[in-house]
Amino acid sequence: MIDSILADYPRPAAGTAPDWQSPVCPDEPVQAMELVVRCDSVDGVAAAVAHGADIILFGGESYHHHPFGTKAWQAAVQAAHEQGAALWAATPRIVREEHRAAVQNELERAIAAGIDGIYAGAMAVFTMLEDLNVTLPVRADWSLNIFNSQAAQVYTALGCTAVTASVEATLRQMKDMVRQSGCPIEAVVQGRVEMMVTESCVISSFAGQGQKKGCPGVCSRGAYALRDRRDESFPVVTDQYCRNHILNSRDLDMAPYYKDLRRAGIAAIRIEGRGRNPQWIGQQVSRYRRLCDGTETMLLGKEDQTVTRGHFFHGIL
C-alpha cells in the first residue's frame, strides 16, 4: 500500500528532467520564468535588483517586528525602478479586525509610493482593494492555500492576474493547475518557509513576561528558535503585529530541479528573503538568475542533506 501511494509522487534525479515544453501548446516559444524575491528591508531590495530580480515583493508581515513606513516604501520603489525591476506590495496572511486599519493604511502608503501591483495574502485584502478603488494588477499569494485549478480559477474570477501555489502543493498539482486553469502559476522555491504562525508569543513565554501587554520587546534583542527532539532548530521571528512565525529548520532549495519547474509550466519562481541579509539575497538571486537565463555552468545534481525540497515531491493532499 505504501509503495502504491509513493508511486504517485515520483522524484526524478536532480537536474535530469527533459527540456521543458509548454503544457498548452508545444509550438509556443519558451519564455523565461519571472524571478520574484520577497524582502523586508530596503537593503535587501537593492541587493535583489542589483543581481537580476524581475519583481520585488515588499511589505506585508516583516520578520524584524517593525512596520513599513512611508520612507521605506519610497526608497524600495525607487531602488527597484532604477534597476528596471517592478515592486509589488505584499499583504499579511492574517488580517484581524483590530489590524484592518493598519493594513489598509500601509496599502495606501505603498500605492502612493508608486508600486506596480499587489499580492493578496488574505481574503480581507480583496475588500480593501475594492474600497480603495485600486486598479493595479493583483496576484493571489501562497497563504490563500491554492492547491488546484478550481481554486486558481476562483481567484482569477476575483481579478487576480496570477496565483502563487500553496507551499504544501506538489509539483504534480502545480502542473495540473497550469494545464487546467490557464492561469500563470508562481512557486516558492528558495528560502526559509513558514511552518506555523501563532498569536501566542513563544519568545515572551520563555524570555519575557509571558504576556503581550506591556511586553519589553525581547524579540527585538536577539535571534530565537525552537529545538526539537532531533536537535533541529526552527527559527522563531515576530512580525509587526506581534505574531510568531515558526520557520523550517532547513532552507527550501529547488535549484537542482529547475528543469522540472520549467517543464511543469511554472510562470514565476520566488525566493523568500525576509529576515536575510543582503549578501545572502544577492547570492541566491544570482544563482537563480543564471538558471533562468540558461547561463548556469555548475552541475546541481548532487543531493544536499542540509536543505529540503519541501512538498514538491511528497504531498499532504
Do 220 and 176 reside in the same domain of the chain? Answer: no
Do 224 and 270 reside in the same domain of the chain? Answer: no
CA distances from 112 to 26, 42, 61, 107, 211 (A): 42, 17, 19, 9, 36
Residue pLDDT, tens place only, 257-279 = 999 999 999 999 999 999 999 99
Mean pLDDT of the chain: 89
Q: For residue 172, give its domain range.
A: 13-193+251-293
Kindly indicate the confidence band of residue 252, based on its pLDDT and cuts at 50, 70 and 90.
very high
Do the domain assignments include residue 49? yes
What is the rounded distance in angstroms from the CA atom of residue 49 to the CA atom of residue 47?
A: 6
Average pLDDT over residues 82-103: 97
Residue pLDDT, tens place only, 278-297 = 999 999 999 999 999 998 87
Do the domain assignments include residue 35? yes
Do 159 and 233 reside in the same domain of the chain? Answer: no
Q: Considering its fold, how many domains does the chain have in total? A: 2
pLDDT of residue 67: 94
pLDDT of residue 270: 99
Do 18 and 153 reside in the same domain of the chain? Answer: yes
Average pLDDT over residues 33-61: 98
The amino acid at residue 268 is: A
pLDDT of residue 298: 72
How would you classify residue 265: left for phi > 0, otherwise alpha for psi between -120 and 50, otherwise beta? left
Task: Please tell me the pTM assigned to this model.
Answer: 0.88
Do 106 and 164 reside in the same domain of the chain? Answer: yes
pLDDT of residue 316: 73
Kindly indicate the confidence band of residue 315, based on its pLDDT and cuts at 50, 70 and 90.
confident
pLDDT at 28 over 50: no
Do 184 and 205 reside in the same domain of the chain? Answer: no
The amino acid at residue 74 is: Q
Give the containing element (helix H, strand E) for 159. none
